[in-house]
Every structure is written in C-alpha cells, then in structure tokens.
Chains A and B, each alone.
Chain A
Amino acid sequence: MEQFLTFVRKEFYHIFRDRWTMIILLVLPIMMLILFGFMMSTEVKNTRFAIYDPSRDAATQGIVNKISMSDYFIFSGYLDSPEQVEEVFRSGKIGLVIVFGERFYENMMHTGDAQVQLIADGSDPNTASTLTMYATRLITLYQQDVMGEMKIPYQIKPEVKLLYNPTLKGSYNFVPGVMGMILMLICAMMTSVSIAREKELGTMEVLLVSPMKPIQIIISKVVPYFFVSVVNLATILLLSVFVLDMPINGSLGLLILISLIFIFVSLALGLLISSAVDKQMVALLISAMVMMMPVMMLSGMMFPLENMPLPLQWLSQIIPAKWFMIAVKKIMIEGLGFSSVVKEFTVLSSMAVILIAASVKRFKYRLE
C-alpha cells in the first residue's frame, strides 16, 4: 500500500509539473465546452434578409415587420429587381430573400392565392432549411393575426410543440457530446500517452524489473487521471448549468453514476492503446484518429445517426460515446429515471468490464 501511494504521488507530480499536461487536462475542457456551446450551435440568429416586393402594401409591410422583429432575422433592404437576388447571395451578406407576388394584399383578402417565395442558399442545407422554416412560421403567424376573427375555412393549422427543448437550443445536443469527448480525451489519450512515455524513456523497463506487480503499475497510472476526470466532470456540469443554461431534469446521482462508468470505459481504452504502442506520438495519433474522430462523427453529436448508411450505423453501436450521449440526454434533458437508461447502462458496463479485462491481460509484464 505504501508502495502504491508513493507511486500515485509520482503520477501527480508528472501531471502538475508539466505545463502542457495541465493545460490539456484543465483548460482545454473548459475551452472546448465554451467553444462548442456558443460558437458551433446550429441555431441561426441575426440572419440578414432582403425583400423584393412589387406590391408594397399593408400585408407585405406587416410580414416584413413581423420577421424583422424576431431574433432570427435582421432586415437589410429592398431589392429593385428579381435579377438582384443572385447578386446579393454572391455578396455573402444575405441569408434569405423574400419575394412577394404582385397585388399581394388584394390576393390575400379576396382570391386567396397571395404568393410569397422564400429563397435561401442551398449550399448549406441545414442553415437554409432552418431559415426557411423560421420564416414560414413567422409568415403563418402574421396570417393568423390578420385573419384572426375571419377564420379561413378548411385550413389545417398544425400546432408544433418541441418537447424537452422548446426553444431549439443547440447546447442541448452539444453538451452531452462535448462531455463524452472531453472525458474520452482525458482518460484515453492522457493515460495512453503517459504509459507510452515511460516506455520511451526506459523507466517502464525499470518498473517491470522491480517487485511492483503489473496490476499495481496499471492502477496507480489510472488513479490520477480518474481524479482529474472527476474534477472535469464537475466543471463541465457546472458550466453547462450556469453558463449554457442546460437543465438537469433527472437525478444528478444517476448522471454521475453513468459518467463514472463512461470514465472507466475510456481509461480502459487508454490502457489498451498503450499496451499496443511504444511511442508517445503514436499513442497520441491513435487516440486522436481512431477515437476522437469516430466519437465526433459517429456518436450522433454532429450528424444524426438515423441518416447514416447502415454500415456506419452498425459501427456506431460500438462507440461508447454514443451510448453515453443517449443516456446523458435522457437523464439531463428528458429527466427520465433509471428504468429508461437500463439499456445504455448495461451496454456501457459490459464495455467497461470487457475492456478492463482485455487491457489488464494485454499489459505485458514481461517484455518478450
């Protein structure tokens, strides 16, 4: 035990005495969270829009006012001719152009075929569809305001309600993803690099010749990174709640429990990587390429899994971060209890057991 504690203390020295390790472990997670939380959100705010309006009547004016007043759009100006549409898109400053038909108001009130066209830049499909969706909603709202009493006959009026995230906040999707990424990064990358470093420097050889048991070496390597991960988990949760306005609707205890299991999975992955490589650089590359990329691409954090080709969907099943994200969303946002995350729980626990067993078995306590 004495031996073990001495060794754990040594690992903490390694962490605290290296500026870059400290930055990666404690500053990077905060930066990533802020960056993803604020800058990479899919919300489209303050988009400039232009109008081509041959009618210039009360109705078109009302619609323009309605749209300008929303958070999403800023009115930029009127176009003189339809030819200018392409020109303004090319300038890159305009996200949406609204073209009204002629005699808009009269058509709306009498014939019922008032025409309005929404033009958006389709080269960025997500933004384009979000913008047109927002604009359509605002136009429908205006129509309802005007028609109010008059009641248009036979009109279907869908009432859209977005459960759990009524205001469509991007952070709801990103925070669980970033949590998965940061924990994966710290546990897997830092653990594998620190073991590879000992191999590179030759100290691992000295340790293996010593009476220290391999399992002791492994555990004392893992303990400090486990602590740092727990600190990070706390920081991430605090930032999410107080800075990014994320709710924790479910049980905090359950959230912490599932995070701890995920941390074990990541640590075991790091050990597994380190058992295969001898150089810090290789450990770093493998962690980055083989683990970070799939976590970002295949966990559902950036791209919806449902739209992926089947083979990629199958592949995503073995990505631990995917299961972690699903569980975190269920607990944090939907506020569900343990019975709803049993599946994710079981999958992650099994992964943890298998990976820890594999990495302990593979850890070479004799060099050849």
Chain B
Amino acid sequence: MNNNIQTSEQGLKPDIVISVDNLTKRFGSFTAVDNISFDVKKGEIFGFLGANGAGKTTAMRMLSGLSYATSGKGIVAGFDINTQSEQIKKTIGYMSQKFALYDDLKVWENIRLFAGIYGVPDKEITLRTDALLKQLGFEKERDTLVQSLPLGWKQKLAFSVAIFHEPTIVFLDEPTGGVDPAARRNFWEMIYQASDRGITVFVTTHYMDEAEYCNRVSIMVDGKIEALDSPKNLKIQFNAKNMDEVFHKLARKSTRKAD
C-alpha cells in the first residue's frame, strides 16, 4: 500500500479528476458547506473527514449530482457539477452508508441489475460476474438472497457493485459503519486494489484509524475545510502522534452541534 502514497506524493503531475472551487451550499440561513476548494488527483484515495454535521455528506452529494450547489464551481471527471450532472452520473460509482443493495434479490441479480443500469453490455456482465464472484470467494453465494449475507459480505458486495462498471471515481459515504475491525481492514484492501487499477476513491469517514490509510485527507469543521494534506504531513503540522489527535485539535473549534 505504501507504493501508492509514494506515487501520488512525489507526483508525476497526475491528472486532476475532481476540482472544487469555492463551493457553497445553504439551506435557508444555515450554511452547510462554506466556500470549500480542493483538488483530487487520479487514482488517489482522498479521505473526507469531519464530525457528524460538519457538511461532508452534503459536499459529497453536490459532487455526485444528488444535490445542487448554492454557489461555486466543481468539475468531476471533466464535467461541470452544475450543468452536466447526467454525464457525471455515468462516470462515477456510489456506495451509500447503508450498503444499499436489494435484500430480496440474489447476489447475481443485484450485480446484474446495477451493471445493467450503468449500461454494461450483457456479455461483459456475465464474464465479469463470474470473475468477481471468484475473486470475492462468493461462488457458492451466487444464488443466495442478499438478506442472508453477513454485514461484512454485503459491504464487500456493495463496493464491488459500485465499481463494477469501472468508474473514473467512486464515492464512498461512510462505507465501514457498523462493520467489525477485521472486516474493515479487509475492506480497505479492496479499496487499495481499486485505486491500483486507477479508480479514484473519494471516501468520507469518521474512523480516524481509516484516515491513516488515505493518500490525502481533508478535515471539515463547521462547513469549512480546516486542513488538507497527507496524514504524515498533518501529523507534523499539528504536532500530533496520530490522526485522532489531529482531528481533536481541529474539532475543538467547532461551534456547530452534531446532528
């Protein structure tokens, strides 16, 4: 995994796949996301951190076309988030914090459904489904209803489904909630594999140990980005032992109540 950090840090000027410029989202008088700007490079694992209510989910929704920006600009995979959300939708993958798969569909039916929605050709689907199931060790579960899978398996499957159509970027909204540490560790291996294949990973989390796995992290406090760098540099900058300490030094500034 260290290879990855090396390449993005030393940087061969990789292309930028997400570029955000003064993005703001207001709900009435409440500013959920306050003038944020950042870039994400291709193949990078970009951690988007913040306490509950800091605005990270709202920001991610604007980037994935689920929500309109109040002001500011954003380019995702070369498309404008304000005007080209339809094109963006085709080039990204998305995994929600509920690992939203259909419980009453079988494993292969879920894969088939989402692959079909993203326009993967039928032949491809059949081939890639076999390969995927083998890789996950799920061959026997092909015809199992998703509802009878353990949570960790559902999570793996949801992630595999989200990147099945080989998106440029995959957005993961708190992908490890409620999963035990071993399964989380396991899951991050999958994230690295995707990143190695050139898929950019944009992940929100509030587990600070997970922040250490990211190439770069941004920390949001009260709608603003208070810090953005590699975990190593952040620890130096804030004179902290680990990311947890970095986070607490920043989060102390928060005046906003968690929802």
Given contacts A3-B116, A205-B66, contact A13 B97 (CB under 8 A): no
B118 touches A210 (CB 8 A): yes
Interface check B61, CB cutoff 8 A: yes
A209 touches B94 (CB 8 A): yes
User: Shortest CB–CB separation between residue A19 and chain B, in angstroms?
Assistant: 11
A244 to B85, CA, bound (A): 56
A367 touches B66 (CB 8 A): yes
B61 touches A368 (CB 8 A): yes
Chain A 198-224 interface mask (CB, 8 Å, partner B; 1/0): 000111011111111000000000000
Given contacts A7-B117, A202-B96, A366-B68, contact A211 B102 (CB under 8 A): no
Interface check B39, CB cutoff 8 A: no
User: Shortest CB–CB separation between residue A350 and chain B, in angstroms?
Assistant: 33
A122 to B103, CA, bound (A): 56
B113 touches A209 (CB 8 A): no
- Give B114-151 interface residues, CB cut-off 8 Å to A: 114, 116-119, 122, 145
Interface check A149, CB cutoff 8 A: no
Size of B's binding interface in residues, CB under 8 A: 34
B66 touches A2 (CB 8 A): no
B117 touches A208 (CB 8 A): no
User: Shortest CB–CB separation between residue B7 and chain A, in angstroms?
Assistant: 29
Find A13's partner among B27, B64, B104 (CB 8 Å cutoff).
B104
Find A3's partner among B58, B67, B109, B119 (CB 8 Å cutoff).
B119
B109 touches A10 (CB 8 A): yes
B102 touches A203 (CB 8 A): yes
A residues less than 8 Å from B61 (CB atoms): 367-368
A208 to B68, CA, bound (A): 13
B100 touches A202 (CB 8 A): yes
Q: Please name the residue on chain A nearest to B104 by beta carbon.
A: A17
Interface check B90, CB cutoff 8 A: yes
Interface check B89, CB cutoff 8 A: yes
A211 touches B27 (CB 8 A): no
Most buried by B among A6, A207, A208, A211: A211
Interface check B101, CB cutoff 8 A: yes
Chain B 188-206 interface mask (CB, 8 Å, partner A; 1/0): 0000000000000000000
Given contacts A10-B102, A13-B104, A203-B102, contact A208 B112 (CB under 8 A): no
A17 to B98, CA, bound (A): 22
- Give B58-73 interface residues, CB cut-off 8 Å to A: 58, 61, 64-68
Find A2's partner among B90, B97, B116 (CB 8 Å cutoff).
B116
Given contacts A211-B89, A366-B68, A368-B61, contact A205 B96 (CB under 8 A): yes
B66 touches A10 (CB 8 A): no
Interface check B105, CB cutoff 8 A: yes
B104 touches A18 (CB 8 A): yes
Q: Please name the residue on chain A nearest to B66 by beta carbon.
A: A367
Q: Please name the residue on chain A nearest to B106 by beta carbon.
A: A13
A121 to B64, CA, bound (A): 70
A201 touches B98 (CB 8 A): yes
A residues less than 8 Å from B95 (CB atoms): 206
Interface check B21, CB cutoff 8 A: no
A202 touches B97 (CB 8 A): yes
A residues less than 8 Å from B66 (CB atoms): 205, 208-209, 366-368
- Give A130-182 interface residues, CB cut-off 8 Å to B: none
A residues less than 8 Å from B112 (CB atoms): 6
User: Shortest CB–CB separation between residue B170 and chain A, in angstroms?
Assistant: 11
B100 touches A203 (CB 8 A): yes
A13 to B110, CA, bound (A): 11
- Give B34-92 interface residues, CB cut-off 8 Å to A: 58, 61, 64-68, 86, 89-90, 92
A367 touches B109 (CB 8 A): no
A367 touches B119 (CB 8 A): no
Interface check A45, CB cutoff 8 A: no
Most buried by A among B58, B89, B95: B89
A206 touches B89 (CB 8 A): no
B residues less than 8 Å from A14 (CB atoms): 102, 104
B residues less than 8 Å from A203 (CB atoms): 100-102
Chain A 10-29 interface mask (CB, 8 Å, partner B; 1/0): 10011001100000000000
Q: Please name the residue on chain A nearest to B91 by beta carbon.
A: A211
A residues less than 8 Å from B90 (CB atoms): 211
A residues less than 8 Å from B145 (CB atoms): 17
A10 to B116, CA, bound (A): 11
A10 to B68, CA, bound (A): 30
User: Shortest CB–CB separation between residue B98 and chain A, in angstroms?
Assistant: 3
A209 touches B92 (CB 8 A): yes
| 18 A–B contacts from the bound complex (CB under 8 Å) | A3-B117, A6-B112, A6-B116, A7-B116, A14-B102, A201-B103, A202-B100, A203-B102, A205-B66, A206-B96, A206-B100, A209-B64, A211-B86, A211-B117, A367-B61, A368-B58, A368-B61, A368-B68
- On A, residues with C-beta under 8 Å from B are 2-3, 6-7, 10, 13-14, 17-18, 201-203, 205-212, 366-368
The 7 closest A-B pairs by CB, nearest first: A202-B98, A202-B100, A6-B116, A209-B94, A203-B100, A211-B89, A211-B90
Known pairs A209-B64, A210-B114 / 6 extra A-B pairs, C-beta < 8 Å: A3-B116, A6-B112, A7-B117, A206-B94, A210-B94, A211-B89
